Amino acid sequence: MKHLRKLLYPFSVVYHGVTAARNTLYDLDILSSEKYELPIICVGNLSVGGTGKSPMIEYLLNLLKTEKVAVLSRGYKRKSTGFQLVTVNDSVLKSGDEPLQFKNKFPRAIIAVDANRQHGIAELQKFSPAVILLDDAFQHRKVQAGFQILLTRYDELFTKDLLLPAGNLRESRGGMWRADIILVTKCPSELSQEKMREIEREIAPTSYQKVFFTGIEYDSSVFNKQESMLLQDFMRKKFTLVTGIAKATPLVQHLNRLSGNFEHLEFGDHHAFSEEELRKLRKHARILTTEKDFMRLRNYFPAEQLYYLPIQVKFLNGAQPEFDQSIQNFINKKETR
């Protein structure tokens, strides 16, 4: 499929011309970007999906849990329009799966969705947050976030990718210059120092950029609407893995390493399950899914049938304190201005 997509390279050249012209207009201030005194941190990527933005937003929410934090997301595939505050009992159709996940895990945080980031920030400022996290807004140049975190997958570095439609890049790799931090995500836990240095040379960060490496850490327990269970106990019986995420391979590999006996039913990212699909899924006695998928499925199954396995970000090479300090330094600098 990748080789077939390369036949679309001429269209990527046209796409590059359009996106490069747009970025240049913003860089030259011909197109205006809104600046804010409030600390605003953007988490995004150059490619289409699957880099781990949601776990990073959750990491920041946990890091800043003593602050009054707001998250602004687009609310991908929701049916509502405009600005919406997310509540724990919302439907996915109103808020989108990931914002609903954020609100359920961090009920004290202010979670909102709005495709118009300028409008969304203006609405959130009415609640006087100490910091706003922008989910997947790296290409939203109308907003000038004070701090930019750029994510790229270990096995799909943006330096080795092509622009849409021949590849998965939303804009050229030159967009990395806007980032303050570059996170190489979903790395294997045993990644060597030599390999890290090789990747950093490949990325070639500027003098003001820091590169960090992170992996995925799976919880030792699974959860449903009512209770939790140790993953090793859950896996003693056969189950069905249901995923509707961009990249399910790491999860499948993790469960295989634990010798799980399961079949995998894979759907597209943010998949909207039809009544027929739900009917077929109900025939499976025990279902394990991701936390994001659980938000879309939880209202259609009894608690004892549907479980999810949480994940979190794990920094490699003992770099977590340095990353945390970079975030705190930015917030403290903004607060003392």
Question: Which pLDDT value is given to residue 34?
Answer: 96
> Using CA atoms, how far apart are residues 280 and 272, in angstroms rounded to an integer?
14
**Coil, helix or strand at residue 71:** strand
Question: Which pLDDT value is given to residue 5?
Answer: 81
Average pLDDT taken over every residue of the chain = 95
| pLDDT tens, position by position, 206-250 | 999 999 999 999 999 999 999 999 999 999 999 999 999 998 999
Q: What order do you get walking across the sheet with 262-266 strand by strand?
A: 228-230, 221-223, 306-309, 287-290, 239-243, 262-266
pTM, two decimal places? 0.95
Question: How long, in residues, is the chain?
Answer: 337
Cβ pair 213, 235 in contact under 8 A: no
> Using CA atoms, how far apart are residues 288 and 239, in angstroms rounded to an integer?
7
175, 200, 176: which is closest to 316 by C-alpha? 200
Q: What is the mean pLDDT of residues 170-180?
A: 97
| pLDDT tens, position by position, 109-165 | 999 999 999 999 999 999 999 999 999 999 999 999 999 999 999 999 999 999 999
Q: How confident is the model at residue 335 (pLDDT cuts 50, 70, 90)?
A: low
- 50 pLDDT more than 60: yes
